[in-house]
Amino acid sequence: MDLLDKFDSIVELRSSLPFEKADPFKVVIEEVISETEAIIGGRHTILAGTNNYMGMTFDEGAIEAAKAALDDFGTGTTGSRVLNGTYGGHKALEAAIADFYDMEHCMVFSTGYQANLGMISALGGKDDYVIIDADSHASIYDGCSMGNATIVRFKHNDPENLERRLRRLPEEAGKLLVVEGIYSMLGDAAPLKELLEVGKKYGCMTLVDEAHSMGFCGENGRGVAEQLGVEDLVDFYLGTFSKSVGTVGGFAVSNHPKFDVLRFVSRPYIFTASLPPSVVASATKSIEAIKRSGNRRAHLWENARQLHTGLKSAGFKMCTEQAESPIIAVHLPDVMMGTRFWEQLLIEGVYANMAAPPATPAGMFLLRISVCAQHTSEQIDEIIARFKSTAAAVGLDV
């Protein structure tokens, strides 16, 4: 019995897609010119699908700090956070994030994915309930599978549907409500005030994943909860360094006095090597810089609005009524059009993400753009123009 036979249908589906010149799942970036441009397939390409929202990947301070850390501490820690893998830099980074969120405690994980695995699997015990949004990121679903709690799912961004489910749960049981600030595929913001208020009404502790909102939502860039003024309803924030912060890693912050015990019970925190000192150093510098980046935040939002308005007035079917985040997604009718559009757009010199089920809700095919604060308004105009010429080339009615 060949264990890989069970994936034959996936191989079949992939080979049925009409890619001729490029494959969205096998893109190789050959050279990086800047935060917003690269060479792909030998062509000069505008990067419009990298989640590099704040454009921190070439921040001078972050690069210098990483180089110094490499020289001083070497290439890696070769150990777990709870053994030999905690350096001074890791503690300084945790302090910088706690300060950024104005909270007491922070734990840094090796990836954002692991932060969700580690928090959800540790917080949700055998007799507890974890209540999640139906459109949650895979890391939230996987955190649920990893733990022993009973998992309840409510309709995406629907406080009334959430309340109906919470009402059916035992009053005295432990409950963790998990929501995201911005959902990564459609770029839609969550009605956090209503969701968290319902959660609190039924005795939930709350975890808000601000992976796609940290850096530019709220006055200090803490995310949607700050933007909506509901930070007092959040028990745990979760975030990543792989988007606005421009490197890799994940974190959780909280004011809970017993928070530190999670370091001893969260398996994805313990049973993996800690982040390399250079990554830790650049993340620290980047987060400090983001805190002071009011202008950059403002420009990012201008870019997002310019792109949304431009594509909408060109007749594209937008996933949100207006720009709710720097994620601007366009509906495409089916997988064939999705494939052809994505490929042609790349040939025209714009890299965006083709998003298909199961990453997208309700069988949607999307072209997903993530805007960067370092995009110039000329580049945004260029992206819009190339979307139009791509639509004409592949025969998409707009």
363 binds another protein (CB under 8 A): yes
How many Å apart are CA 20 and CA 366, to the nearest integer? Answer: 19
Burial class (CB in 10 A: 0-12, 13-18, 19+), 18: exposed
Could you tell me the sign of the dihedral formed by the alpha carbons of 20, 35, 359, 25, in that order?
positive
28 binds another protein (CB under 8 A): no
Q: Which is nearer to another protein, 27 or 152 (CB)?
A: 152
Q: Which is nearer to another protein, 96 or 130 (CB)?
A: 130
**Hey, what are 207's tokens?**
């975890």
- Residue of 110, 136, 139, 184 marked active site: 184
- The footprint of another protein on this chain (CB under 8 A) covers a number of residues equal to 18
H/E run at residue 259 = none
Q: Which stretch binds another protein (CB under 8 A): 108-116, 144-152, 244-252, 291-299?
A: 144-152
Q: Where are the alpha helices (DSSP H) in 42-146?
A: 60-73, 88-101, 112-123, 138-146
Q: Does 184 participate in catalysis according to the annotation?
A: yes
Q: Which residues lie below 8 Å from residue 213, measured CB to CB, with a gap of 6+? A: 180, 181, 182, 189, 223, 224, 227, 325
169 binds another protein (CB under 8 A): yes
Q: Please give the order of strands across the beta sheet that includes 365-370.
A: 327-332, 365-370, 353-355
Q: Does 212 participate in catalysis according to the annotation?
A: yes
Q: Which stretch binds another protein (CB under 8 A): 52-60, 159-167, 182-190, 247-255?
A: 159-167
Q: How far is the CB of 234 from another protein (least distance, A)?
A: 23
151 binds another protein (CB under 8 A): yes
Range 91-110, binding another protein (CB under 8 A): none
362 binds another protein (CB under 8 A): yes
- Residue of 90, 175, 212, 308 marked active site: 212
152 binds another protein (CB under 8 A): yes
Q: Which stretch binds another protein (CB under 8 A): 27-35, 193-201, 264-272, 358-366?
A: 358-366
Q: How far is the CB of 140 from another protein (least distance, A)?
A: 11
Q: How far is the CB of 150 from another protein (least distance, A)?
A: 4
Amino acid at 33: I
How many Å apart are CA 398 and CA 394, to the nearest integer? Answer: 11
Q: Does 201 participate in catalysis according to the annotation?
A: no
Could you tell me the sign of the dihedral formed by the alpha carbons of 147, 152, 155, 158, in that order?
negative
Residues in contact with another protein by the rule CB under 8 A: 134, 144, 150-155, 161, 164-165, 168-169, 357-358, 361-363
Positions annotated as catalytic residues are 184, 212, 243
